[in-house]
Structure 1
């Protein structure tokens, strides 16, 4: 319990990589003085002119909104960069109406055959594309499957018909 204030202080004064600023400076418009600097004289605390310091704090408060906007822009840029990285790893696939696909046995939970059971069931035919990777399927007998299937649980079936 005694460490919680120190941990919170460290969290509030640590620079966040997403926006390049500390939560403390975005709240109060100035850098925080760490408790160790208060107890012992450092150049930062010893050479303080209180009149100039108060003027500088006032100016910092006036510019605070602009600083927050710049941090929001940097954070949005960081999120865009992460999203671009994530999407570069995602395999983009889509199916057309009439395509034959298999669906994962794990996703349907129909059979619990252990580790030697088939991993994929099918083939099924795509009857409807609902958007965002959701599809309606029907089996080879023409019976509609009762739910939608996500593209993560489907894979293309290549049937060679003679």
Structure 2
């Protein structure tokens, strides 16, 4: 199967050629009927010479597909910026201070933002001080 992101099959990117599945060999198709051993070895060598170029083109198409997916995702992201004195809940998974298993609460008590830094991080303090 062709990968949508690369436009190639994995076998073609690895070996430079496509495989013939047993069903293709049993049912006479043009690919099987027109098989010539001498021509096949020449074509295989030619495919190997072009393999690196094919891999580079697949990497370019894959990077383009990733950019398109990121653009699609980022279009729907809503960025939230907090101000000082706002109350926020801290993710327990991030801090790892309280381990209560997978059924425990994910969020910790509300914290007050003391300072908002330029890089998007915050200094927090418990509301009690």
Shorter-chain TM band: 0.7 to 0.9
What are the Cα deviations for residues 85-119 of structure 1, in whole angstroms up to 9, with x where unaligned?
Answer: 111111123235xx2312138521x4xxxxxxxxx
Q: For 1:56, which of 43, 66, 69 is the aligned residue?
A: 43
In the alignment, which residue of structure 1 is the partner of 2:65? Answer: 78
Unaligned 5+ runs, structure 1:
1-13, 111-120, 144-162
Q: For 1:104, which of 64, 86, 89 is the aligned residue?
A: 89
Matched residues, number: 114
Residues 95 and 126, structure 1, Cα contact 8 Å, conserved in 2: no
Unaligned 5+ runs, structure 2:
91-105
Instruction: With the length of structure 1 as denominator, give the TM-score of the two structures.
Output: 0.61
Bigger Cα Rg: 1
Shift of 1:129: 2.1
Q: For 1:39, which of 26, 30, 44 is the aligned residue?
A: 26
Aligned-residue CA RMSD (Å): 2.2
Q: Larger RCO: Structure 1 or Structure 2 (Cα < 8 Å, ≥ 6 residues apart)?
A: 2
Paired with 1:27 and 1:140, the residues of 2 have a C-alpha distance of 59
Paired with 1:75 and 1:22, the residues of 2 have a C-alpha distance of 13
Instruction: With the length of structure 2 as denominator, give the TM-score of the two structures.
Output: 0.75
Paired with 2:44 and 2:60, the residues of 1 have a C-alpha distance of 24
Residues 26 and 67, structure 1, Cα contact 8 Å, conserved in 2: yes
Question: Is 1:126 paired with 2:111?
Answer: no
Shift of 1:140: 6.0
